[in-house]
């Protein structure tokens, strides 16, 4: 069966910025993430996805907008809320669902799950169960890109809660000191698990970036076109100048911290800004026929349904085969 490739792998890039795809294509990629995560929520509630999952509803604009100008050889390190990043970077729906359901033919043979899903073939260096855990890994990956001599770059995604972790500060310092081609992308949804991040950090990322002398751009993450255009410019700059940059996007965490979180701690009653609705309204304004948009949505729903069905039929892994891969065999890379 042909692997359904992820959103980023589809479609030619053309738009207002030379690199940014048309809104309809960006919308389609966002819908792919939303529909996949909707299914995740249902599968989790039904007990078909073990463990726990953190959905990125409300943050699709950042994943899709930033990833739109990346190449397969650019690398990203992600977070515990990494489904959108993985799919937008090119992880296929089949490998994605099979992994989340813990199947033998999942992207990571059912050993990683939601919080550790990776696809190195598309430069996705893994979700990460450790807040800030991916930041220095991306930094090393960026240094590898620089030492190899091409124009590839690395991106680390992190939440505003991770700003309190020392590794972010160490990494910003080293990135600027060693001029490493890395883009630090903060998805600022205001929440650090169950606490407002404003109760946890005394600085803004803008000021922090300034302290390290790193160029900073902040924008609204619910407008995928803005994100895509800004990211295309900044990615170009990092590619060319071989040094770091910081991007921060205001986003919304529409659902709870994890699935099943009743959010009793949450006081904000204003309805969240949904990047899909923002994009959808703009498509209407621009006269894209509703039927065309709905056909795209229906296609994606069918694709997701098919991937879920296939994942259900996939075999479970064995402990023996897992035990064989605690260490890489010495002949593998020697």
Partner 1 sequence: MSEARFAHAINRALDDALAADPSVLLLGEDIANAGGTFAVTRGLLDKHGPDRVIDMPIAENAIAGMAVGLALGGFRPVVEIMFMDFMTLTMDALVNQAAKLHFMFGGQSAVPMVVRTQHGGGLNAGPQHSQCLEAWFAHIPGLKVVVPATLDDAYALLRSAIDDPNPVLFVENKALYPMKGALSDAPPAAPIGKARIARAGSDVTIVSYGAMVHQAMAAAEQLAGEGVSAEVIDLRTVQPWDEAAVLASLAKTHRLVIAHEAVEAFGVGAEIAARMAQIGFDELDGPIMRVGAPFMPVPFGRGLEVDYMPSAARIVEAVRATDV
Ligand X SMILES: Cc1ncc(C[n+]2csc(CCOP(=O)(O)OP(=O)(O)O)c2C)c(N)n1
Which CB atom, from 262 or from 319, has the smaller least distance to partner 1?
319
Q: Which of 69, 189, 222, 252 binds ligand X (CB under 6 A)?
A: 189
Stretch that binds ligand X, among 116-124, 154-162, 261-269, 308-316 (CB under 6 A): 154-162
Minimum distance, C-beta of residue 145 to ligand X, in the bound complex (Å): 25
Residue 136 touching partner 1 (CB under 8 A): yes
User: Which residues, numbered 58-117, are part of the site for ligand X (CB under 6 A)?
Assistant: 80-81
Minimum distance, C-beta of residue 330 to partner 1, in the bound complex (Å): 6
User: Which residues, numbered 87-106, are part of the site for partner 1 (CB under 8 A)?
Assistant: 106
Give CA–CA dist 94/104, Å, rounded.
Answer: 12
8 binds, among partner 1, ligand X, none (CB under 5 to 8 A by kind): none
Site for ligand X (CB under 6 A): how many residues? Answer: 15
Q: How many CB atoms lie within 10 A of CB 53?
A: 22
Residue 161 touching ligand X (CB under 6 A): yes
User: Which residues, numbered 245-284, are part of the site for ligand X (CB under 6 A)?
Assistant: 253, 257
Give CA–CA dist 211/172, Å, rounded.
Answer: 10
3-state secondary structure string across the chain: CCCCCCHHHCCCCCCCCCCCCCHHHHHHHHHHHHHHHHHHHHHHHCCCCCCCCCCCCCCHHHHHHHHCCCCCCCEEECCCCCHHHHHHHCCCHHHHHHHHCCCCCCCCCCCCCHHHCCEHHHCECCCCCCCCCCHHHHHHHHHHHHHHCCCCCEEEEEEHHHHHCHHHHHHHHHHHHCCCCEEEEEEECCEECCEEHHHCCCCCHHHHHHHHCCCEEEEECCCHHHHHHHHHHHHHHHHHHCCCEEEEEECCCCCCCCCCCCCCCCCCCCCCCCHHHHHHHHHHHCCCCHHHHHHHHHHHHHHHHHHHHHHHHCCCCCHHHHHCCCCCCHHHHC
Q: Which of 20, 64, 118, 232 binds partner 1 (CB under 8 A)?
A: 118
Residue 179 touching partner 1 (CB under 8 A): no
Q: Which of 72, 173, 218, 258 binds partner 1 (CB under 8 A)?
A: 173
Which CB atom, from 54 or from 89, has the smaller least distance to ligand X?
54
Stretch that binds ligand X, among 37-45, 60-68, 84-92, 126-134 (CB under 6 A): 126-134
81 binds, among ligand X, partner 1, none (CB under 5 to 8 A by kind): ligand X
Binding site for ligand X (CB under 6 A): 80-81, 129-131, 159-162, 189, 191-193, 253, 257
Binding site for partner 1 (CB under 8 A): 75, 77, 106-112, 116, 118-121, 125-126, 128-130, 133, 135-145, 147-148, 154, 166-167, 170-171, 173-174, 177-178, 322, 325-330, 332-334
């Amino acid at each position: 069966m042909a692997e359904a490739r992820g959103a980023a792998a589809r479609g030619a890039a053309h738009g207002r910025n030379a690199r940014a795809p048309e809104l309809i294509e960006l919308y389609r990629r966002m819908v792919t993430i939303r529909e996949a995560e909707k299914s995740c929520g249902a599968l989790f509630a039904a007990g078909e996805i073990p463990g726990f999952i953190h959905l990125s509803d409300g943050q699709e604009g950042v994943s899709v907008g930033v990833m739109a100008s990346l190449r397969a050889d650019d690398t990203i390190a992600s977070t515990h809320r990494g489904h959108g990043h993985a799919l937008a970077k090119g992880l296929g729906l089949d490998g994605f669902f099979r992994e989340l359901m813990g199947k033998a033919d999942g992207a990571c043979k059912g050993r990683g799950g939601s919080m550790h899903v990776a696809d190195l073939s598309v430069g996705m260096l893994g979700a990460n169960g450790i807040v800030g855990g991916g930041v220095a890994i991306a930094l090393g990956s960026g240094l590898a890109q620089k030492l190899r001599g091409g124009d590839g770059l690395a991106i680390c995604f992190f939440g505003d809660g991770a700003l309190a972790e020392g590794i972010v500060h160490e990494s910003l310092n080293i990135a600027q000191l060693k001029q490493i081609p890395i883009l630090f992308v903060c998805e600022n949804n205001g929440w650090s698990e169950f606490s407002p991040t404003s109760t946890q950090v005394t600085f803004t990322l803008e000021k922090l970036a300034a302290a390290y002398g790193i160029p900073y751009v902040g924008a609204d993450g619910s407008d995928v076109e803005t994100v895509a255009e800004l990211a295309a410019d900044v990615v170009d700059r990092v590619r060319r100048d071989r040094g770091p940059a910081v991007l921060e996007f205001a986003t919304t965490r529409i659902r709870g911290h994890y699935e099943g979180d009743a959010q009793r701690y949450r006081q904000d009653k204003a309805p969240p800004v949904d990047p899909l609705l923002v994009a959808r309204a703009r498509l209407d304004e621009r006269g894209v026929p509703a039927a065309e948009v709905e056909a795209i949505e229906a296609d994606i729903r069918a694709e997701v349904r098919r991937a879920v069905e296939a994942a259900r039929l996939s075999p479970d892994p064995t402990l023996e085969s897992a035990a064989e891969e605690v260490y890489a065999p010495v002949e593998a890379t020697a």
